[in-house]
Amino acid sequence: MTDKQWNDLLKVVSGELLRPIPVGFIIDSPWLPGWAGITILDYYTSERMWLETNFRVVQRFPEVIFLPGFWSEFGMCTEPAAWGARCIWPEDEFPIAERVIHDYSEIDRLKKPNCRTDGLCPFVVKRLLHRQEMIEREGHAIRFAVSRGPMNISSFLLGHSELLNGLKTHPRQIHKLLRMVTDFVVEWLQWQATLFPSIGGVMILDDVIGMVRDGEFEEFVLPYFTELGHALDVPVKILHNDCYGLLVAKHLTKMGFNVYNFSHEHSLVEVRALAGPEVTLLGNIPPREVLAQGTPDDVREAVRKALESMPDHRRWILSCGGGMPPNVPTQNVDAFYEAAVAATKSG
């Protein structure tokens, strides 16, 4: 992310109205390798291919804000690997992290890993350290500390259904698991911030919190995510949750997050009403049906309708409802940005 893009992001978060309205996307391995014509495994295992792909995308779309920018990651295996998850690496499919816990009683024997030495965490930061000088030479900087959230990580360790069922059947063990994973994530974020002084933002990705019911949310999500929302004293705090459900939106300010990426199945208007005027919305064009599978005209029409639906364009970054999905063609990204520029200039 360039200095200008970072400053624009700060302006948006502070409530300043920018023209044209900023366009930004969360991008990582589901989209970038295929867009660049390499395999997912090549993207993960070659620092050169990873860097070339990220340079290529920022040079091809210089006006688009890509979040978090030069994201060093290994898919959903990044954090579970530190807890001992067996990771399976197909050549050109998403990696799989296998379960570590097969019975709730095993949680009592689980030990919090060291993010500085365990799993893939050291590889994440080493890739950035090795390439930091080249990134900065091209006018970009490492701006975000990034992690999956504790519910997301716990669901890989224990199983999605087992985690959600355990909120009722084994609350003590689930609290213990979430306590350990939250402590791990806080340490992981803080270590990244220590290594890279240019970091001014945090991004947490957790879709599982959208599946938690009211009542259980206040007990099992709110306290832990409030800790994450205040783990770093930074001006930009992004929460990604594109699971269907509106419960998360009304707790964002309390948890300490000021940017929200959410499901395209919810309108911008209803999420704004729940999140409040102080939260920056990151969305909300359908990612697969429109951005990946639609024509450029479909994309332009979706952007136009989104802009018309929101009378107040402050604290809003035009994006898709979730991360950039696989197979989004170049011409659709072009159409998205062009439509945003044309609509906001004419307005």
**Each residue of 180-207: pLDDT tens digit?**
999 999 999 999 999 999 999 999 999 9
Using left for φ > 0, alpha for ψ between -120 and 50, and beta otherwise, residue 66 falls in: beta
CATH number where 191 lies: 3.20.20.210
Residue 38 has pLDDT above 80, yes or no: yes
**Each residue of 134-170: pLDDT tens digit?**
999 999 999 999 999 999 999 999 999 999 999 999 9
Give the residue from 298, 296, 279, 308 showing the smallest Cα distance to 335.
Answer: 296
Residue 109's domain spans which residues?
3-346
**Each residue of 292-342: pLDDT tens digit?**
999 999 999 999 999 999 999 999 999 999 999 999 999 999 999 999 999
Work out the mean pLDDT of the chain and round it to a whole number: 97
Using left for φ > 0, alpha for ψ between -120 and 50, and beta otherwise, residue 69 falls in: left
3-state secondary structure of 304: helix
3-state secondary structure of 150: helix
pLDDT tier, 347 (very low <50, low <70, confident <90, very high otherwise):
low
Cβ(332)–Cβ(291) below 8 Å: yes
3-state secondary structure of 171: helix
Per-residue buried b or exposed e for 145-164, using 16+ beta carbons within 10 Å of the residue's own CB: bbbbbbbbbbbbbbbbebbb
Cβ(242)–Cβ(321) below 8 Å: yes
Residue 248 has pLDDT above 70, yes or no: yes
Residues 283 and 316: their CA atoms lie apart, in Å, by: 8
**Cα dihedral value 130, 133, 137, 139, nearest 10:** 80
**Each residue of 80-104: pLDDT tens digit?**
999 999 999 999 999 999 999 999 9
**Each residue of 205-232: pLDDT tens digit?**
999 999 999 999 999 999 999 999 999 9
Instruction: State residue 346's pLDDT score.
Output: 55
Q: What is the domain count for the chain?
A: 1
Instruction: State the DSSP H helix or E strand holding residue 35, giving kind and residue range, or none if neither.
Output: helix 32-36
Quote the pTM value: 0.97
**Each residue of 62-77: pLDDT tens digit?**
999 999 999 999 999 9
| Rounded (10°) angle between helices 296-309 and 330-346 | 40
Cis amide leading into 20 (omega within 30)? yes
**Cα dihedral value 178, 219, 315, 21, nearest 10:** 50
Instruction: Identify the residue whose tokens are 């019911």.
Output: 213
pLDDT tier, 343 (very low <50, low <70, confident <90, very high otherwise):
confident
Residue 344 has pLDDT above 80, yes or no: no
